[in-house]
Every structure is written in C-alpha cells, then in structure tokens.
Amino acid sequence: MLCGAAAGGRAEPEVPAPPMGWMTWNLFGVDIHEEGLRRVADAMVESGMAEAGYTYLYIDDGWQGGRDKRNNIIPDPEKFPSGMKALADHLHQRGLKLGIYSDGGQLSCAGYTASYGFEEQDAKTFASWGVDYLKYDYCNAPQNKEAANARFKAMGDALRKSGRDIVFAVCCQVHLEPWKWGRAVGAQLWRTGPDSRDKWKNIVYVINCNAGLHEYAGPGGWNDMCMLSVGMHGEGATPWIKGTGCTGIEYRTQMSIWCMMAAPLTASCDLLNMSETTKRILMNKELIAVNQDQLGKQAVREVNTGALNVFVKPLSNGDHAVAILNLGKTPKDFKVDFAGIGLPGRYKIRDLWKHEAAGSGASWQGNVRSHETKVFRLSKMP
C-alpha cells in the first residue's frame, strides 16, 4: 500500500507489515565495528532469522565520525574502514537491508554528529550508501510538538527527495505523542514507549504504554515498542540495557505481546550465540504470521483485571489471535468466555506456542503460569 507522496518527492516506501530485523544498541551500544556487523549479517542468514523475516540490520547510535570539508556526514573511519556503502552491499548481496540512525538535533542521544540543519544533505548521503531505513531520534532538540513536527517533517521530506525508498522511523520522547502525527511527517513507524530493557518490569511497562494505541497502528504506520530483549539474559554490553535478565517464560511473553500488537520485531541479542530456546522464541513462525498478518490490526486489550490480561487481534482470514497473560506472581486458573471478548460462537483453538490443537468450544479454561502468555488462534466453527 502506498501512503501518498510528499510534496516534490516520490511516494513513501511500502511498509505493509511491521518491519523485522536486528539492532545494534542493546548488545554493542556505541562499540560497533563493520567486522562484527558482517558477522551478525552472516548469522542472520545462517541461523534462519532472515528466512523467518528478520531482514533489516539496523545500526544504532555511535557510527558517526563527524562531517567532511563539504559537510557530508561520514562514518567513524576506525569503526567502518570500508565505508558504509560496502556494508550495505554486503547486506544487499545476502538479501538483507541496512538501517541507520540519526537525530533531529545537532547531536544524537549518545553525543554524536546528527542531522539538524543537514536533513537534505544527510538523506542524500544515506541514499547514496544504499540505506533502506532511518531511525530518527530526538535528543538535544526542543521538547514541544510544534518543533518536533517541523524537525521530523524536514527529514521525512528529505528522505522522499533522496531518490531512494528509505523507511522513516520516528524515535522521540513519549510526551510528544508521535503516534498522533507520525504519518503526517512521512513516518512508517514511531516509538510508543521508553527504551526497552532486559527486565520483566520494563516489559510490562512498555506493554501498558502501547496497549491503548491500537487505533494508530495499521498498514504503513506501526506502533514501535522498541527492541526485543529476548535471549539477552542480562548480558547487554552497555549500561543502558544491562539488567537482571528475564526468564524464558517472560521472553515468550514479550514475543507474544509484540506479535499481538503488530509491533516491529527488532531482535537485539547475540545472534552468533543464540540458544535453541531463544531461536524457538524469535523464530516462532505461527506467531510471526500473527504479527505480519496483512490486515495489520493491533490487538485490543479486552480484559485488564488484576493479574489477567486478554488481548484479541483480528486476522485477515477471519481467525482471531487471543493472548492470555498472567501478570501475577503465582500460577492461576483462568476461564475466558469468548463471547465476553467479542467473539460469540464456537471455535477451533490452536496453541501457537505448543504448535498443536487445543480443543474447541465457546471458551478456554486452563492454568497460566506466572508471567506466562498463552496465544491461541481461534477459527470459527460453522
């Protein structure tokens, strides 16, 4: 689906489903190097992640090396001795895509050269390197909606004029409510919560930030819940992410709810050393199909009482995905009447974590472990 054309530019890139990929920030912070990224790219292909849909490799903050004499932004020559185009070529040859990072201030969040005042020049530079996606942050910039709109629009327009399809991802403070104006500035996704951390509390916090925003998500414009910490186990390389880690059940919940919310799926763990459990979580094809479903609906939270959360996501073939989350500290027996969550009638029930049928009927009843999410696909019975 095309989202329309910006003045004087080409149509915006098609983003019919939430983008999927891997981002440098949680694992490497600003300590990034082209050799390491080439290895990650190869691991994306060899591990099956690329085939599962994770095709973007996003370079976050810290790649910048200032500007040259003509004010062209350049990568840090020590981190990227072969230049950015060579890395983009490496990715494209493997069917992958390159994402990069900048900021609407003079300096990025981590204090590196950013794009304010150089939007058109930088967009052209990114296009010349073969960049496919820009995460555009908003540190060191005025914190009001008017200024944010103007600065993001300047980059949105510049990307459209750059001569290349570059997906535009808004990353700004939540009080600026980018979901309300993201599409208008030419963005295809916008952050709806804080930085993700490798902690259960943070996962719940991010879910609560995003849960009420379902009306803003849809083909061409996605609510971004930030990176998945699945598989990090507290071992993020930077103080920004270093955490206590989560249990396998908690990582499964993160994957479940991100998929239900039609949020971009951005892995961030060490792809070269993924455990089988991590692979099964990140590459759960039945859940990814829910995330990528062409109807593009974000789940609605139909129940939010005490420990019980129930989310419902309509799917393009008439099925519904239903997620049942136990936020409590102890296992609980729950009964969910489908009519009570807007789904009258009888359904065939398929468990998307066990990958097997889970009975049929007008309700589901069972035990949900502490912090666990069950995800079912419901197909209406005649």
Residues that bind ligand GLA (CB under 6 A): 25, 60-61, 108-110, 137, 171, 195
Which are the contacts of 208, defined by CB distance < 8 A and separation ≥ 6? none
Q: For ligand GLA, give the closer residue by CB, 61 or 319.
A: 61
Catalytic residue, chosen from 60, 61, 137, 293, is 137
CA–CA distance from 26 to each of 157, 184, 187, 233, 267 (Å)? 29, 30, 23, 12, 9
Closer by beta carbon to ligand GLA, 136 or else 311: 136
Classify residue 95 as left (phi > 0), alpha (psi -120 to 50) or beta. Answer: left
CB atoms within 10 A of CB 77: 11
Give the chain's radius of gyration (CA, Å).
21
Minimum CB distance to ligand GLA, residue 29 (Å): 8
When the beta carbons of 137 and 270 are compared against ligand GLA, the nearer one is: 137
Kindly tell me which of 137 and 157 has the beta carbon lying closer to ligand GLA: 137
For residue 75, give both structure tokens.
């990568």
Could you tell me the smallest distance in angstroms from the CB atom of residue 153 to ligand GLA?
Answer: 20
| Calpha distance 309→303 (Å, rounded) | 5
**Distance in Å, CB of 71 to ligand GLA, minimum:** 22
- Closer CB to ligand GLA, residue 54 or residue 311? 54
Q: How far is the CB of 173 from ligand GLA (least distance, A)?
A: 9
359, with CB counted inside 10 A (0-12, 13-18, 19+), is middle
Q: How many CA atoms lie within 13 A of 247 on its CB side?
A: 7
Please list the residues that pair with 23 across neighbouring strands: 58
Q: What are the distances in angstroms from CA 345 to CA 300, 360, 361?
A: 19, 11, 8
Q: Is 60 a catalytic residue?
A: no
Q: Is 195 a catalytic site residue? A: yes
Which residues are identified as catalytic?
137, 195
